[in-house]
Amino acid sequence: MASYRRIKVKPVAGALGAEIGGVDLAKIDDATFAEIEAAWLEHLVVFFRDQTLTPAAFMTFARRMGKPIEYPFVKGIEGFPEVIEVKKLEHEKHNFGGIWHSDTAYLDQPPMGSMLLAREVPPHGGDTEFANQYLAYETLSPELQRVLSGLKAVNTSAKANVTRTREDRIKEQGGSGKDYEAEHPVVRTHPETGRKALYVNCAHTARFAGMTEEESAPLLEFLFRHQVKPEFTCRFSWRTGSLAFWDNRCTQHNPINDYHGHRRVMHRITLAGDRPK
């Protein structure tokens, strides 16, 4: 466990997640940044409160953590193409990413991580759950770990209807949609920690490479249930100015859609990753 002198780190659950206090993300020096990065790697997802970040300041912080990239389906806000608006309006029933998933696993190089900043939140509801995929792998039997270590999974955006946004549905109605597909190891090794994590998800993973969907389904369905067991998870309640930063290489997340009739507006930045190994 890392030792922190410049920030306050309070774990939120036994499996993963920590709130970081005593920091203004618009004004951090190199030593504070190094502690934030260490806490992120240790806890997999970190949370900050009361951050009054302009889009420019949000981008500046994101650039210290990695390389911001444009999201494949959603146009960024004006002046900041890498910052997308994640919005659910009062009359809408579907939310963005409304299922357990790892972000854009259908890309050849899925993102390293994602940041979400709350601009407007409902009076209640709208929490986000996170799940530790190190634990999901480590709690499997040694024999199943051995079997999975030799498998690759086919991930496709065509399966991701429930994770798409209002903009995507409108675009696809016009016939201009594009599907992405990529094969990745079912068990990936984190490039910084060296730990192994389960890397399939019910939103994007269609089958094992070399197998049909029917052949793949029984084992995939077991893994989908296993990897989000309550003891592997934490839950975060948003307030305006809250920021979450998760490691996409070893977590999944699930935005809970329980605030119909209310407005929720978030800004999100995605950070470039490498090809899973």
Pick the catalytic residue from 188, 207, 253, 267.
253
Q: How far apart, in whole angstroms, are the C-alpha atoms of residue 204 and residue 213?
A: 13
Pick the catalytic residue from 43, 101, 164, 204.
101
Q: Give yes or no: 268 in active site.
A: yes
Q: Has residue 176 been placed in a domain?
A: yes
Q: Has residue 164 been placed in a domain?
A: yes
Q: Has residue 277 been placed in a domain?
A: no
Q: Has residue 104 been placed in a domain?
A: yes
DSSP 3-state of 138: helix
Q: Has residue 88 been placed in a domain?
A: yes
Q: How far apart, in whole angstroms, are the C-alpha atoms of residue 225 and residue 100?
A: 10
Q: Has residue 2 been placed in a domain?
A: no
- Are 253 and 35 in contact by the 8 Å Cβ rule? The answer is no
Q: Which of 7-21, 68-82, 178-192 has the lowest mean pLDDT?
A: 68-82
Write out the residue range of the structural domain in which residue 226 sits: 8-271
Q: Has residue 3 been placed in a domain?
A: no
CATH number of residue 151's parent domain: 3.60.130.10
Number of folded domains that form the chain: 1
Pick the catalytic residue from 43, 103, 164, 249.
103
Residue pointed to by tokens 């920091």: 23
Q: What is the pLDDT of residue 258?
A: 94
> Residue 168 pLDDT more than 50?
no
Two tokens at 173?
């109605």
pTM of this structure:
0.93
Q: Give yes or no: 103 in active site.
A: yes
Q: Has residue 210 been placed in a domain?
A: yes
- Are 274 and 109 in contact by the 8 Å Cβ rule? The answer is yes
pLDDT digits (tens, 9 = 90+) for 5-40: 999 999 999 999 999 999 999 999 999 999 999 999
Q: How far apart, in whole angstroms, are the C-alpha atoms of residue 191 and residue 137?
A: 16
